[in-house]
Amino acid sequence: MVRVRFAPSPTGFLHIGGARTYIFNWLYARQQGGTVVLRIDDTDLERNTEASRQSIFDGLGWLDLPWDELYSQSERAAPHREAARALVAKGVAYRDFTPADAEPDRAGARAGAPWLFHPGQREIPQAESDRRAAAGEPFVLRFYVPRGTRSEVLFDDAVYGPQCRSTGDIEDFALARSDGTPTYHLGSCADDVDLRITHIIRGQDHLANTFKHLLLFEALTATAPQFAHLPLLLAPDGAKLSKRRHGQVVSVTAYRDAGFLPHAFVNFLCLLGWSPKDNREVLRRDEMIALFSLQGINRNNAVVAYHENEPENWADPKAQWLNTQHLRGMPLEELLPHVERDLDAAGLWQARFGQERREWFAKTVDLIRTRYATLRDFSRLGAAYFGEMFHVEQTAAERLNQPGARALLGELAERLERTEEFTEQSVEREVRALAGERGVKAGVIINAGRAALSGQSVGPSAFAVFAAIGRERVIRRLRASAC
């Protein structure tokens, strides 16, 4: 059975690159009927924070792609210790007693050659090493890279194809720190073996680590997983997207807070480095599962086209477009809970919207969603439908202040109060009749009415807006605007 893992470190908020890695792992596992393991790699005690850990759960929880098994690396000391003991016993790991503040000794090294090991440490007899360790002398446990007996490390990457690296370019990497805690290399590989991981799908920036990990899997007499490395996410200037420099652009929860739909955002991230063969872009979750393949992942890095100098328009245009498409096209019953949460956060939700006014709420959301791009628009642009306090945009105010427009709204209020029915059709009849009697274009009344009722200059059919607002509120707002 396919078993994949996503192993983030809790040292900052969940990066969109990490989220994309999780999505690709999730899609592959679901397509193959496999298992998704979430493993928090929290052995870096100095940098780990509880806030970062929670950010990972918050971000992945929002994506709504549930994992099957959850582990924390800090709670898995036993397999790490056992792996370290096994490596020492096999003679493929050794203790390096070089003081932590010592400079690497490059004497005799050829110009430009990489640092490989501290001279004299690999040759320390085992008995002497054991004695010094027992005496409390600090040491780092290192892997004994077999340069004398092996010239290269090879593997076939599912994305980038055959990969090769000379053992002469691989340093004796650390396995355990002086305090005994495992490094990333040992902890990761020991857990991959113990958790029976079959496929490792991760960023291209880990490609260099893979050669070290293959040596470790071999030393642990374990079958190496299949590797698939993903192209990087870049800024428009070609720089790698970083948390420090690019801020909210790379934070998953920033998109959540900006009103993006989780499945629309998953759709966007999925297309950063992968595409279906039929070139479709708007994809449902079930379609992504059916179409996804490791072979479909591109080798070229993907660019996130954000607007660094436009704080109000910082998201990639493709992300915004996809969100709009999903917002307009998703089943209404799936959209309603998202809108409810947005209105509740803005203080606009009323319990009756989910009870006796449920039908009205659903019809209103369906009416206005065709004009919106994010969930935040329901509370920001649609406040007039769900509450009494709303902003009147400048263009709408200009239409409201056309000569004679306010007086006409006052007259319209009187006419609508007297009508037996209050529907789109009856409102239209009254508007056109009033316009004819006063010798003005109906558009003057329609545009002013839309502005008075919704604060917007554009939107759904103006008569549909009247019906959605309702007779009582319409009459009250028209009269208030006529003053």
Domain for residue 257, yes or no? Answer: yes
Q: Is the same domain home to 61 and 197?
A: yes
Please report which helix (H) or strand (E) contains residue 379, including its range: helix 376-380
Two tokens, residue 20: 């994309």
Task: Tell me what pLDDT residue 17 has.
Answer: 94
Q: Is the same domain home to 347 and 403?
A: yes
Task: Tell me what pLDDT residue 46 has.
Answer: 76
The structure tokens 């998703």 sit at 330
Q: Give the separation between CA 212 and CA 185, rounded to whole angstroms.
A: 8
Single residue among 292, 307, 328 that ends a domain in this structure? 328
Please report which helix (H) or strand (E) contains residue 86, including its range: helix 77-89
Task: Say which CATH number the domain at 53 has.
Answer: 3.40.50.620
Q: Is the same domain home to 351 and 275?
A: no
Range of the domain at 13: 3-74+184-231
Single residue among 152, 176, 200 that ends a domain in this structure? 176
Task: Tell me what pLDDT residue 104 has.
Answer: 58
What's the first-to-final CA gap in the chain, in angstroms? 72
- Beta pairing partners, 201: 228
Tell me 232's DSSP state.
P
Q: Give the separation between CA 202 and CA 22, rounded to whole angstroms.
A: 9
Domain count, the chain: 4
Q: Is the same domain home to 342 and 438?
A: yes
Domain for residue 43, yes or no? Answer: yes
Task: Tell me what pLDDT residue 277 has.
Answer: 82
pLDDT tens track, the chain, 483 positions = 999 999 999 988 899 999 999 999 999 999 999 999 999 998 777 788 888 899 999 999 999 999 999 999 989 988 999 999 999 999 999 999 999 877 555 444 455 678 999 999 999 999 999 999 999 999 999 999 999 888 999 999 999 999 999 999 999 999 999 888 899 999 999 999 999 999 999 999 999 999 999 999 999 999 999 999 999 999 888 888 877 777 778 899 999 999 999 999 999 999 999 999 888 999 999 999 999 999 999 999 999 988 766 666 788 999 999 999 999 999 999 999 999 999 999 999 999 999 999 999 999 999 999 999 999 999 999 999 999 999 999 999 999 999 999 999 999 999 999 999 999 999 999 999 999 999 999 999 999 999 999 999 999 999 999 999 999 999 999 999 997
Domain for residue 422, yes or no? Answer: yes
Q: Is the same domain home to 415 and 318?
A: no
Q: Give the separation between CA 217 and CA 8, rounded to whole angstroms.
A: 21
Domain for residue 236, yes or no? Answer: no
Q: Is the same domain home to 341 and 399?
A: yes
Domain for residue 91, yes or no? Answer: yes
Domain for residue 213, yes or no? Answer: yes
Two tokens, residue 129: 């090493």
* Segment 243-247 long-range contacts (CB within 8 Å, at least 24 positions apart): 243/12, 243/13, 243/15, 246/306, 246/308
Domain for residue 44, yes or no? Answer: yes
Q: Is the same domain home to 282 and 345?
A: no
Q: List the one residue out of 77, 65, 47 whose CA is nearest residue 6.
A: 65
Task: Say which CATH number the domain at 163 has.
Answer: 3.90.800.10
Two tokens, residue 429: 């009849």
Maximum Cα–Cα distance across the chain: 108
Task: Tell me what pLDDT residue 123 has.
Answer: 94
Q: Is the same domain home to 188 and 40?
A: yes
Q: Is the same domain home to 220 and 254?
A: no
Q: Give the separation between CA 128 and CA 344, rounded to whole angstroms.
A: 68
Q: Is the same domain home to 383 and 460?
A: yes
Q: List the one residue out of 298, 295, 146 whose CA is nearest residue 219.
A: 146
Task: Tell me what pLDDT residue 112 has.
Answer: 64
Domain for residue 237, yes or no? Answer: no
Task: Say which CATH number the domain at 373 has.
Answer: 1.10.10.350
pTM over 0.85: yes
Task: Say which CATH number the domain at 288 has.
Answer: 1.10.1160.10
Mapped onto helix, strand or coil, the DSSP state of residue 229 is strand
Please identify every residue annotated as catalytic.
Answer: 243
* Segment 476-480 long-range contacts (CB within 8 Å, at least 24 positions apart): 477/452, 477/453, 478/409, 478/410, 478/412, 478/413, 478/416, 478/449, 478/452, 478/453, 479/409, 479/410, 479/413, 480/452
Task: Tell me what pLDDT residue 108 has.
Answer: 41
Single residue among 176, 192, 209 that ends a domain in this structure? 176
Q: List the one residue out of 41, 29, 19 whose CA is nearest residue 192.
A: 41
Q: Is the same domain home to 464 and 338?
A: yes
Q: Is the same domain home to 40 and 89?
A: no
Two tokens, residue 199: 């496929």
